Amino acid sequence: MTAPLVDFAAFSAASQLAIAVFIGLAFGFALERAGLGDARKLAGQFYVTDFTVLKVMFSAIVTAMLGAYWLARLGVLDLARVFVPETYVLPQLAGGALFGIGFVLAGLCPGTSCVAAATGRGDGALTVVGMFAGVLATGLAFAPLRAFYASTARGSLTLPQLLDLPYGVVVCAIVAIALAVFRIVERWERRAA
Amino acid sequence: MNRTLAIAALVLGALAAIGGSPYRAQHANVDAARLARAIAHEDDHVTALELAEWIRDRKPRLRIIDLRSEREFATYHLPRAERVPIEAIPSTPFARDETLVLISDGGAHAAQAWVLLQSLGYRDVYFLRGGLGEWLDDVMSPAKPSDLTRYFGGVPRATGDEAAYGGGTSAAVKAMRRRGC
């Protein structure tokens, strides 16, 4: 778990794991209820016939973003302590493309493949096995990849830094974009149906 | 799209645009009078002997922040000390319930870092007044040996400087001391 709660409330390692299990189960349950354990539904995103993935992911981003902003603004969360993954431009572009190919081939992403496997879907279980085989293969073949892996490093970048805009303005803009996109895709879906 | 949720998101988003920065560090605010009182009451620093007792007694949530260079840190540092360069102090996230003790060579950088951390809202911060030299003189090789000297493996000055600080790299460490012999 990332910095703030652990540092401030000082959970023990065991209770951190217990909380992680609880959050993981809740996340899996939410994904299943959103219908994201179904490969057809996920593949529908790539064929622009079903926008469930976009809507679920974008609403999650907006919810988390508003929560993080307001909790930090009200002094509950110390945003400076929240881990921001580092940006590596080329490796992440290449990894994203590879991820997308795997996503559309399997119809599942890492989290949803676990959900699909847990609901007894064979394709989900095989995707989980394939994913771990891929992780292992990448780890074993890491030496020649190391230079590329560390190239074009940009450090921990956030949108407000990148755009040189106040944090709250970026939050507001992303909410507006999300709502506009939801409106457009729902109109699109209705027309397609 | 759920209309109520969409409106709630829109309102929270619009308020965020005029809500200001969520980062605490940017709200750095110095209450100069309070800092002056802390300095006058000598609540801003610890002596080397006080710090030695804190370390020995395993004071909970104690963090010893060494501001010196990597080379100086490698030559000698206090037990449990961690190195944080002074330019990294504003961006280093410390927990609010930690007791921070700042150490520099002579004490000036540590005192300046004390002001920085106070301005960022950390209250439980102290600096070692006489810097590392005070530690070496008063704890590691005092004129009169104490339990603390023995605890930290130091040697009283009377028995000869060569053996001080557990022998080893004593020449390099000796150069850091305030009082030469």
Q: What is the pLDDT of residue B27?
A: 53
Closest among A25, A49, A8, A43 to A123, alpha carbons compared: A43
Res. A92: pLDDT tops 70: yes
B-interface mutation test, from A172, A179, A182, most B Cβ less than 10 A away: A172
pLDDT-based confidence at residue A77 (cuts at 50, 70, 90): confident
Q: How many CB pairs under 8 A join A and B?
A: 80
Domain housing B58: 32-174
Res. A190: pLDDT tops 90: no
Contact A62, A178 (CB under 8 A): yes
Report pLDDT digits (tens) over A29-39.
999 998 888 89
Q: What is the pLDDT of residue A9?
A: 53
Which residue among A7, A66, A186 places its CB closest to the CB of B13? A66
How many helices and strands, by DSSP H and E, does chain B display?
8, 5
Test A171 with B17 for CB contact under 8 angstroms.
Answer: yes
d(CA B63, CA A43): 51
Domain count, chain B: 1
Average pLDDT on B137-144 reads: 86
Residues of A in contact with B13 (CB under 8 A): 62, 66, 171-172, 174-176
pLDDT-based confidence at residue A4 (cuts at 50, 70, 90): low
The answer to whether residue B27 sits within a structural domain is: no
Test A69 with B19 for CB contact under 8 angstroms.
Answer: yes
Residues of B in contact with A73 (CB under 8 A): 16, 19-20, 22
Partner B contacted by A33 (CB < 8 A): no
Q: Dig out the tokens for B98 from the structure.
A: 């930690």
Neighbouring CB atoms inside 10 A of A45's CB total 19
> What's the DSSP call for residue B100?
E
Give the whole-number percent of chain A exceeding pLDDT 90: 58
Q: Which 82-121 residues of chain B touch chain A by CB within 8 A?
A: 91, 93, 95-97
- At residue B62, the 3 state secondary structure works out as strand
Which residue among B6, B22, B97 places its CB closest to the CB of A79? B22
Test B1 with A183 for CB contact under 8 angstroms.
Answer: yes
Q: Dig out the tokens for A36 from the structure.
A: 């994201």
d(CA A52, CA A32): 12
The answer to whether residue B6 sits within a structural domain is: no
A99 Cβ neighbours under 8 A, 6+ residues apart: A109
Q: Which 12-51 residues of chain B touch chain A by CB within 8 A?
A: 12-14, 16-25
Q: Is the ipTM of this complex over 0.95?
A: no
Contact A39, A125 (CB under 8 A): no
Report pLDDT digits (tens) over A158-186.
898 889 999 999 999 999 999 999 999 99
Residue B167 exposed, middle or buried by CB count within 10 Å (0-12, 13-18, 19+): exposed
B-interface mutation test, from A2, A5, A6, A7, most B Cβ less than 10 A away: A7
Partner B contacted by A78 (CB < 8 A): yes
Contact A113, A135 (CB under 8 A): no
Which residue among A75, A78, A166 places its CB closest to the CB of B21? A166
d(CA B56, CA B60): 11
Q: How far is A134 from chain B (nearest CA, A)?
A: 35
The answer to whether residue B116 sits within a structural domain is: yes
Give the whole-number percent of chain A exceeding pLDDT 70: 94
Find the CATH number of the domain harbouring B63: 3.40.250.10
B-interface mutation test, from A6, A52, A58, A175, most B Cβ less than 10 A away: A175
d(CA A50, CA B53): 66
Q: What is the pLDDT of residue A123?
A: 93
pLDDT-based confidence at residue B179 (cuts at 50, 70, 90): low
Report pLDDT digits (tens) over B61-98.
899 999 999 999 999 999 999 999 998 888 787 877 78
Res. A116: pLDDT tops 90: yes
Q: What is the pLDDT of residue B24?
A: 67
Test B23 with A62 for CB contact under 8 angstroms.
Answer: no
d(CA B92, CA A84): 14
Residues of B in contact with A179 (CB under 8 A): 1, 6, 9-10
Amino acid at B150: R
Q: What is the pLDDT of residue A15?
A: 83
The answer to whether residue B45 sits within a structural domain is: yes
Contact B164, B141 (CB under 8 A): yes
